[in-house]
Amino acid sequence: MPPTASLSTRVENRLNKYTNEIWFRTLILVFSFILLLLIFSPNPVRLKEELKLKTVANEPAPQSTGGLPSPELLNVQKLIETQHEKANNEIKMLQEQIDTWYHYKFILIGGIVALFLGHFGILGKQSALAPKTSERLLVATLMSNRTSALLALVCVVAFVIDMHIRAHLTGMQGLGHWIYNYVEPSYFKTMGAQSGSIPPEGLIKTQFIPWETFLHTSVREVQQTNPLYRAAYSLQLHFMTIAMYMLYLVVFQNVCLLSKKGKQQQVALLGFVMVHIAVLAFIITAHTVPNSFDVRCFPIASTRCWVTGSQGSSYYLIAWLLLVLSSLPYLYLLFPSFRSRTKSKNLSI
């Protein structure tokens, strides 16, 4: 037997042995869960240094006759207050839209659950044989190519919803940094405030810390920089999407293990491709920041590693590639015709 034929046979035997093992499938699911946590984790963002105003006047504002501020300064102060209120209203609107998209996801998942319950006959009148029938239907459903295709569509829609959520979060983050770097220091300009920096003596004197300054203070590891907090926040925000992807992966593995020739292969492969294109689109959308900001390379990366624009998504492409490669053993099993052609080719050599 040629060496290539022997190698191909050994690889196929190993795949047939391990892909059916519970521990192997659990390992892939756990690995995929960790990768999804990384993909969904948002990274700290900061305003570029060249956009920070470093030369805020330390002197009191010029006074006109009568001890009142000049008309120019009054106009600027009025503009600041108007723009500040506008930014706060926009943040509130974006937060409401995030809640709306989140509710849409629950409606989607709730509809799927109701569909499954109706399919198993749980919502209808129960008979003595209903439990056994439901068990058989459940097993058949979890191994069905139709279920795999349905869950693939659910995952795609869920990732699209998450794209909108993260786009709104990026907008809120930009507005928060604008307030932190430009608006709040303007109220403390006579105390030596600069972009993103209000002197502690000014805060002590007024006995007040503005909200964005409080969130971004550097005296402790705050929610903007704490990786555990950001991972936990991301988990509760995207948990339903992760759960749907994990369920899809289980059904997809079952379909690959029971795959036959014909359209079943094409539908399963198309669903897999659609889901992971949606994951890729989410990575690009969620981790690309405006060019006015720098984003940390990775949640657990060094604080010196900062990139900008679309470069923020480059490190997450590795996680996406690993996510696809983790399902490679089952993709190989999806094509028995390919394996048979490989065998016949090796035997003819």
* Residue that wins the pLDDT comparison between 336 and 44: 44
User: Burial of 65 by CB count in 10 Å (0-12 exposed, 13-18 middle, 19+ buried)?
Assistant: exposed
Q: Which contiguous run of DSSP H or E holds residue 302? A: none
Q: Quick check: 148 and 255 in contact, CB under 8 A?
A: yes
Q: Any idea which of 242-251, 256-265, 270-279, 287-296 has the lowest mean pLDDT? A: 256-265
Could you report the per-residue pLDDT of 65-114, keeping only the tens digit for each? 455 566 777 788 888 888 989 999 999 999 999 999 888 888 888 887 77
Query: What pLDDT shows up at residue 262?
Result: 60
- Count of C-beta atoms within a 10 Å radius of residue 102: 16
Q: Is the pLDDT of residue 241 over 90?
A: yes
Neighbours of 234 (CB within 10 A): 22
Quote the pLDDT of residue 120: 59
Q: Is 265 helix (H, G, I), strand (E, B) or coil?
A: helix
Q: What is the mean pLDDT of residues 273-286?
A: 95
Contacts of 243 (CB under 8 A, 6+ apart): none
**Domains of the chain by residue range:** 3-55+70-348
* Predicted local confidence at residue 77, as pLDDT: 82
Task: Report which of 329, 320, 297, 271 is spatially closest to residue 46, judged by C-alpha positions.
Answer: 297
What predicted TM-score, i.e. pTM, was given to this entire model? 0.82
Look at 90 and 191; give whichever has higher pLDDT: 90
pLDDT tens column, 126-185: 555 455 666 777 677 778 888 888 899 999 999 999 999 999 999 998 898 899 888 888
pLDDT value of residue 36: 94
CA gap 291, 48 in Å, rounded = 8
Confidence of residue 319 (pLDDT cuts 50, 70, 90): very high
* CA gap 157, 163 in Å, rounded: 10
Average pLDDT, the chain: 79
Q: Tens digit of pLDDT for each residue in 202-216?
A: 777 777 888 888 877
**Is pLDDT at 322 greater than 90 in this prediction?**
yes
Sequence-distant (≥ 6) Cβ neighbours of residue 209 within 8 angstroms: 203, 217
DSSP 306: E
